[in-house]
Amino acid sequence: MKDFQFKNTTDIRFGSNRIETELHDAVAQFGPNVLLTYGGGSIKRSGLYDSVKKILSDLNIVELAGIEPNPKISSVREGQKLVKENKIDVVLAVGGGSVVDASKVIASSAFYEGDPWDLVLDSTKRFKMKQLPLVDILTLSATGTEMNAGSVISNPETNDKLGTYGPNTPAVSFLDPALTMSVSKWQTAAGSIDIFSHLTEQYFDKEKNNDVSDGMIEGIMRTVIKWAPIAVAEPDNYDARANLMWSSTMALNGVVRLGYQDGWTSHPIEHELSAYYDITHGVGLGIITPRWMKFVLSAETVAKFAKFGRNVWHIQNDNDQVVADIAIQAVYDWVKSLGVPTTLPGVDINDDTNFKVMAESAVKVGQLDSAVYVDMSVNDVVDLYKAT
Ligand code: NZQ
Ligand code: ZN
């Protein structure tokens, strides 16, 4: 197990009816000038927007609407202008991961004179600066952004989709599972696959004998596998929504990765798909993850895959190779059962023109040729795209 340091200061407010009584003070503690950020309108349709405006009616609210899925740097630039012009004290993000991600970079850009894309390209800049406090109301279970310091921002001009990290996790995160009942079947499936992929990225690690992290991850994997199909079939099932919401947070708030080397593979490969074709992140991961598993399965890795098969999928067989093969097929079948495509043509990607340049970028950004569970070359990544 590797040495580690861990600190996470996000104040989690989990459960229904907390917003009514706790949101006002959670926001007002930072000052009266609030930038309210949100997406394309789901919070207006659900009535959440009206509730928030009513609860905060004595504060000065400036709004940034229209933050898109796979959030674009243009939204961050707009936000930077608003926080500076209005002397904003706190950013309140209401929405899914895209809204929260963009808001974190806006919170940093308040203290930056240049173009915020600089902050995405070089996160070290953000650690030398202050960052406005961020309060969020999460409406979609997937990314873990509600309790981590990461954001993923796209720049359509350069076909980049890059991760960036700041010094702070959100100050306060409101996690009300009932708010996720209106999430579509597509986004529920995608979010669940995203959670599952965060867990596989961390679980399949070069570090051996980290039974604490392995055990926590296996438990969260079983939770997501069990409750995702129920949430897809019964959107109003509170237990399903609650289990997915807390899984989303726990999968990527930094706890379960402790002691691992933590090199990720499927995410850098998927981020290229989203950058070039603007597809839903979790759906891309559903296509990539089982194929990546097949690629990395070998005599060196079979024991870990067998552990995964026995502890997560309850497969009973003495032969590690048999268990590993059944487990990978089970991942594929689970993704398919959630009703999302499992091939690239299924998400309208029908030609391989960009695969080489995408693979080069994935290998560079993710250090896939040196810092991950099983190293991958550019050609390996191209083969993986073509295999799908
Ligand atoms: O824009 P609105 O109208 O709000 O609609 C959104 C959007 O169309 C809708 N939605 C959200 N909550 C809803 C709802 N619809 C009905 N009812 C609700 N309660 O869902 C759509 C997708 O929203 P988005 O925020 O894009 O989804 P998600 O939370 O999956 O975020 C995806 C983004 O996060 C990044 C991804 O790459 C992608 O850009 N990631 C961020 C990470 C992080 N910060 O740590 C890690 C992840 O691996 C991931 O890369
Ligand atoms: Zn993800």
Return the ligand 1 atom nearest residue 191 CA.
Answer: 30
What pLDDT digit, counting tens, does each position of 280-339 carry?
999 999 999 999 999 999 999 999 999 999 999 999 999 999 999 999 999 999 999 999
- The CA 370 to ligand 2 mean position distance, Å, reads 21
pLDDT band at 22 (very low <50, low <70, confident <90, very high): very high
Closest CA to 43 of 59, 67, 24, 70: 67
Whether the CB of 152 sits within 6 Å of ligand 1: yes
d(CA 238, CA 162) in angstroms, rounded, equals: 34
d(CA 320, CA 323) in angstroms, rounded, equals: 5
Quote the distance between the C-alpha of residue 283 and its chain's center.
12
Mean pLDDT, the chain, rounded, equals 97
Residues of the chain above pLDDT 70, percent:
100
Asked whether the predicted pLDDT for residue 205 surpasses 90, the reply is yes
What pLDDT digit, counting tens, does each position of 62-72 carry?
999 999 999 99
Name, in order, each residue with C-beta under 8 angstroms of 30's C-beta and a sequence gap of 6 or more.
Answer: 89, 90, 132, 133, 135, 171
Which pLDDT score is estimated for 65? 98
Contact predicate 105/153, CB 8 Å: yes
d(CA 168, CA 147) in angstroms, rounded, equals: 9
- The CA 249 to ligand 1 mean position distance, Å, reads 14
Closest CA to 70 of 116, 101, 30: 101
> What residue has token string 């030609």?
351
What pLDDT digit, counting tens, does each position of 112-153 carry?
999 999 999 999 999 999 999 999 999 999 999 999 999 999
pLDDT (average), residues 51-65: 98
Whether the CB of 266 sits within 6 Å of ligand 1: no
Whether the CB of 109 sits within 6 Å of ligand 1: no
Whether the CB of 249 sits within 6 Å of ligand 1: no
pLDDT (average), residues 257-278: 96
Name, in order, each residue with C-beta under 8 angstroms of 21's C-beta and a sequence gap of 6 or more.
Answer: none
pLDDT (average), residues 160-179: 97
pLDDT band at 388 (very low <50, low <70, confident <90, very high): low
Nearest CA residue ID for atom 7, ligand 1:
69
pTM over 0.90: yes
- The CA 50 to ligand 2 mean position distance, Å, reads 30
- The CA 129 to ligand 2 mean position distance, Å, reads 26
d(CA 37, CA 299) in angstroms, rounded, equals: 49
- The CA 100 to ligand 2 mean position distance, Å, reads 14
Nearest CA residue ID for atom 38, ligand 1:
70
Which pLDDT score is estimated for 40? 97
Closest CA to 104 of 76, 139, 140, 144: 76
pLDDT band at 387 (very low <50, low <70, confident <90, very high): confident
pLDDT (average), residues 225-252: 98
CA angle 232–176–154, rounded 5-degree value = 75
Asked whether the predicted pLDDT for residue 353 surpasses 70, the reply is yes
